Structure 1
Amino acid sequence: MQDFLQLSGAINDETRVRLLNFIDKNGEVCVCDIESSFLMIQSRVSRHLKILRDSGFLTVERRGKWAYYSINSKIDEFKKLILKEINSLNMDTPILIKAC
């Protein structure tokens, strides 16, 4: 039950849904590129990414001072269905702006 509540909490925010869509479309993305593309400050981006990571949607790899986020390749079928539904939404997703 706790896992379900954490998962539903992770996707009940428009910004997090847009972040999932953005990362799914662009593959591995540096946090600095996410900040630039979404025009968000680092602390706000990090908060959203942590929630998505804690729910199992994302993985992070640190390289030097930067963190690179990608969709977790080991997500379960339910999360895959959620990502598929998110990708089918007609939403405005920012273009990738390389900042670092």
Structure 2
Amino acid sequence: MLEHEYLKLLADETRLSCTLLIFQQKKMCVCELTEALQLSQPKISRHLALLRQSGVLTTERKGQWVYYQLAIDLPLWFCDLLQQLITSDALSKSYHLDTTKLNSANVCCD
């Protein structure tokens, strides 16, 4: 995938939030993301499918749950960008709000 295609994927707020949370948490299922982002399951699933189809995410099934994680063959610059976005002032408020919701949630797949 070309560099600008990665950036296009992150231009959507939902995809960016999902990607950042998955990057930080290593693996997440849809129910965790719906709790953290306070969005509907179909909306989260649609964005995760796009990220998976583009090669940014991979899936792993554990019982009835499907966990999403970053693909291992992503360019180093992309992972560096995600780390910088997590620590940047520009996204710190929304990212920390998402992680706070995630940490306080009782999700079904735990």
* TM-score under structure 1 length normalisation: 0.80
1:41 corresponds to which letter in structure 2?
S
Q: Is the 8 A contact 2:57 2:71 kept in 1?
A: yes
Other-structure match for 2:30: 31
Higher relative contact order (CA 8 A, sep 6+): 1
Asked if 1:99 corresponds to 2:98, the answer is no
2:25 corresponds to which letter in structure 1?
N
1:7 corresponds to which letter in structure 2?
Y
CA distance in 1, matches of 2:46, 2:88: 23
Other-structure match for 1:49: 48
1:36 corresponds to which letter in structure 2?
E
Cα deviation for residue 99 of structure 1 reads: 0.6
Other-structure match for 1:64: 63
- Alignment RMSD: 1.9
Give the paired residue count. 98
Partner SS, residue 70 of structure 1: strand
Q: Is the 8 A contact 2:14 2:44 kept in 1?
A: no
CA distance in 2, matches of 1:33, 1:65: 14
Structure 1 stretches of at least 4 aligned residues deviating more than 3 Å after TM superposition: none
| Structure 2 unaligned regions, length at least 5 | none
| Structure 1 unaligned regions, length at least 5 | none
Partner SS, residue 22 of structure 1: helix
Other-structure match for 2:83: 84
Cα deviation for residue 8 of structure 1 reads: 3.1
Cα deviation for residue 44 of structure 1 reads: 0.2
When residues 56 and 98 of structure 1 are mapped into structure 2, their CA distance, relative to the original with a 3 A threshold, is farther
1:73 corresponds to which letter in structure 2?
I
Q: Is the 8 A contact 2:60 2:68 kept in 1?
A: yes
